[in-house]
Amino acid sequence: MIKDIIESNEAVTANAREIAALKEHFPSCFHSDGSFDIERFKEFLSDKVDVTSEGYELKFLGKNYARLLASEDTTTVIQPDEEHNSKPENVNSENIYISADNLDALKHLLKSYAGAVKCIYIDPPYNTGKDDFAYNDKFDFSIEELSEKLSINEEQAERILDLTKRGSASHSAWLMFMYPRLLLARDLLSKDGVIFISIDENEVTNLRLTCDELYGEDNYIGTIVWKNVTDNNPTNIATEHEYILCYSKNKERVSPIWKTSIVDIKDKVLQKEAELLSEIEDEEMLQEQYTLWYSTVKSQLGKLDGYKFIDRNGVYAGSRSVHNPGKNGYFYDVIHPITGKPCTPPLMGYRFPEETMKKMIADGRILYGDDENKIIEIKQYLHDYEDKLASVIELDGRSGANIIRQLFDNKNVFKNPKTPAILKEFIPFVMNDDDIIVDFFAGSSTTAQAIMELSTVSKNNYKYILIQLPEPTKKDSEASLFGFSTIDQVGQERIIRAAKKIKEDHPDTTADLGFKHYTLVEPSKDTLDKMETFNPEMITFNNLVNEFGVPTVLTTWLVRDGYGFNAKCKEIDFNGYTGYWCDKHLYLINEGITQEQIAEIVEKLENDTTFNPENIVLFGYSFNWARTEELNINIKRLKDTDRNLRINFDVRY
């Protein structure tokens, strides 16, 4: 499998992905020699699209190099962390944590999750000059190779490679790093999927242009301005905010109205409401007791802090929705129940006709001031509360660090984490039950904590996939003193500790609090060299199976064949030889198969109607030429039997 990929990577060009897409959808525009007929292509567009020769685009050094990186296939294998994954809390978990470079991990993910991810949230390095952003791809092109691949001169190739090697923090280096990742991320999104990207002043303009290009200007949803800090050392303008950009895969498929009833704190207030309503009959006493409780929790209520009243229908706030939004509202008298005088009407009149107002008064839906001078309000009950996603959010960003400290014995094991609260502001607007969120700059795993907490409150089964580079922690940092040698270790431990706390606080939670862990590994040079010189007519040699074990090869293939990281495989015993069956694929990875065992496989295919793989995949290094041929011939023969089986035979190296 790796050898095949290395060979095909040699032929990859910067625009390979785009050409493949064109070939798939417009085969008639290609001539037999592979050349593209642009005039014929224009004919396809003529009715619906204005073809323009004007326009502008984002240009930066290394843009083609970035596209080349996105086009090359991955040559790593997926190694499951078998000990962790078999623990009771993880064995059935559908959450995934990948320790790896995200460019590589995205390429694996795409094989199984293309078009399947509802939400992506990323918090990439901001390129502030202080955030340790260093270009960190590890592609090993020589100047000559790159100049040939990108059709550029050697001087340009050298400048690009320089950017990748010197750990440059220039705009070009940052764009070259982000571009291929954002490009691949788009393909993960479902048709109605969206991506949220945290960023600050340093790169927001470049990010916006990049996303306009990769996602399409049409698919821009909006920008959230997050006021997260107080600037105590202001320069010209005190910067007290950052941004969260939001783009969709296809805006037409995204619900045009975003509302959510999942508000973290709402549940807590509703619980108190139920408790008081069941214990207290008297309305005055009810309000008294609620006010007492309300004053102790007011500071935690955030946007619900207007809900200070209660009656027998529940907790409510006063809403000013009696006001007519434009001119020409309704004017009539609403009499104050105590003073007996008409209440002051809204400036533009009431929004409802008098009959509707009378009904609302009769139903007890109207909230009066102490006397007639206050404009009346409508009672808005908490159980009907729905949130909207506002473009400005005010939320103290420091709470992220406090949460980490609470989980890690007051130690600051991760610098500048986001707070789960900010993620909880937007995730409920886009995710539904069973949806997947991906965060490929996972850091301390804030996204996982937010998802576990949201799943607990909403009882939805949200799933996450997190990717974090096993970046070494800094010597003498609190993380390293705590015993973490890499950041992905911090991220995994954060999930474990946050899950424990959630379980303590909500013993009845049904949320998925575990995760499966995988690492992406490059085969050793020795294995690669041997793969290079392997001759199928000779006997087998030390290979990927010997280096990593069957579970690694199997997991890598299952993901490659679209079954995902949570695929369940059946082990099938063919007279002492174990094969692995998952839906349409039967995998034969182990070496040492005998003629009798091949006969057993063929016999089962021929006679067992419940056993119906459509592909047999062989690990080429485990089979000598004679056995491979024997199996191949026997499989072909099955199409002439009663079952008329047409099974695809795939030997992977």
Ligand X SMILES: C[S@@+](CC[C@H](N)C(=O)[O-])C[C@H]1O[C@@H](n2cnc3c(N)ncnc32)[C@H](O)[C@@H]1O
Contact residues: ligand X, CB under 6 A: 101-102, 123, 125, 136, 414, 417-418, 441, 443-444, 446, 467-469, 471, 487
Cβ-proximal residue to ligand X, closest one: 443
Partnered with residue 564 across adjacent β-strands are: none
Minimum Å gap between C-beta 157 and ligand X is: 22
Minimum Å gap between C-beta 124 and ligand X is: 6
Minimum Å gap between C-beta 481 and ligand X is: 18
Q: Residue 338: exposed, middle, or buried by beta-carbon count in 10 A (0-12, 13-18, 19+)? A: exposed
Do the Cβ atoms of 184 and 103 come closer than 8 Å? yes
Indicate the helix (H) or strand (E) that contains 387.
strand 387-388
Residue type present at position 268: K
Pairing of strands 259-260, 241-248: unpaired
Task: Return the number of the residue (376 or 430) whose C-beta is nearest ligand X.
Answer: 430
Tokens encoding 442: 């996972």
Tokens encoding 238: 């005190």
Minimum Å gap between C-beta 492 and ligand X is: 12
Q: Is 217 helix (H, G, I), strand (E, B) or coil?
A: helix
| Alpha helices in 313-371, H assignment, sequence order | 354-362
Minimum Å gap between C-beta 374 and ligand X is: 44
Do the Cβ atoms of 645 and 638 come closer than 8 Å? yes
Minimum Å gap between C-beta 442 and ligand X is: 6
Minimum Å gap between C-beta 468 and ligand X is: 5
Burial code (b: 16+ CB inside 10 Å, e: under 16) for 542-554 equals ebbbebbebbbbb
Minimum Å gap between C-beta 112 and ligand X is: 19
Task: Return the number of the residue (224 or 469) whose C-beta is nearest ligand X.
Answer: 469
Task: Return the number of the residue (22 or 204) whose C-beta is nearest ligand X.
Answer: 204
d(CA 373, CA 393): 33
Task: Return the number of the residue (471 or 547) whose C-beta is nearest ligand X.
Answer: 471
**DSSP-derived secondary structure letter, 638:** G
Task: Return the number of the residue (446 or 597) whose C-beta is nearest ligand X.
Answer: 446
- Phi and psi, residue 117, nearest 5°: -105, 125
Closest by CA position to 262, among listed 459, 394, 505, 403: 459
- Phi and psi, residue 44, nearest 5°: -60, -35
Minimum Å gap between C-beta 101 and ligand X is: 5
Residue type present at position 333: D
Do the Cβ atoms of 596 and 621 come closer than 8 Å? no
> Which residue shows structure tokens 């929705």?
321
Closest by CA position to 560, among listed 100, 75, 101: 75
Minimum Å gap between C-beta 473 and ligand X is: 10
Task: Return the number of the residue (102 or 172) whose C-beta is nearest ligand X.
Answer: 102
Task: Return the number of the residue (316 or 441) whose C-beta is nearest ligand X.
Answer: 441
> Which residue shows structure tokens 């950052």?
242
Pairing of strands 615-619, 648-652: parallel
Minimum Å gap between C-beta 332 and ligand X is: 54
Close Cβ partners of 243 (under 8 Å, ≥ 6 residues apart):
198, 199, 200, 204, 223, 224, 225, 226
Tell me, letter by letter, the H, E, C secondary structure of 499-510: HHHHHHHCCCCC
Task: Return the number of the residue (62 or 620) whose C-beta is nearest ligand X.
Answer: 62
Query: How far, CA to CA in Å, does 336 sit from each of 311, 323, 349, 370, 379?
Result: 19, 17, 17, 9, 16
Do the Cβ atoms of 165 and 385 come closer than 8 Å? no
d(CA 388, CA 77): 43
> Which residue shows structure tokens 């843009």?
63
Task: Return the number of the residue (203 or 273) whose C-beta is nearest ligand X.
Answer: 203
Task: Return the number of the residue (94 or 488) whose C-beta is nearest ligand X.
Answer: 488
Task: Return the number of the residue (379 or 516) whose C-beta is nearest ligand X.
Answer: 516
Do the Cβ atoms of 119 and 194 come closer than 8 Å? yes
Task: Return the number of the residue (260 or 468) whose C-beta is nearest ligand X.
Answer: 468
Minimum Å gap between C-beta 575 and ligand X is: 45
Task: Return the number of the residue (443 or 620) whose C-beta is nearest ligand X.
Answer: 443
Task: Return the number of the residue (318 or 443) whose C-beta is nearest ligand X.
Answer: 443
Length of the chain in residues, anyone? 653
Minimum Å gap between C-beta 201 and ligand X is: 15
Minimum Å gap between C-beta 409 and ligand X is: 18
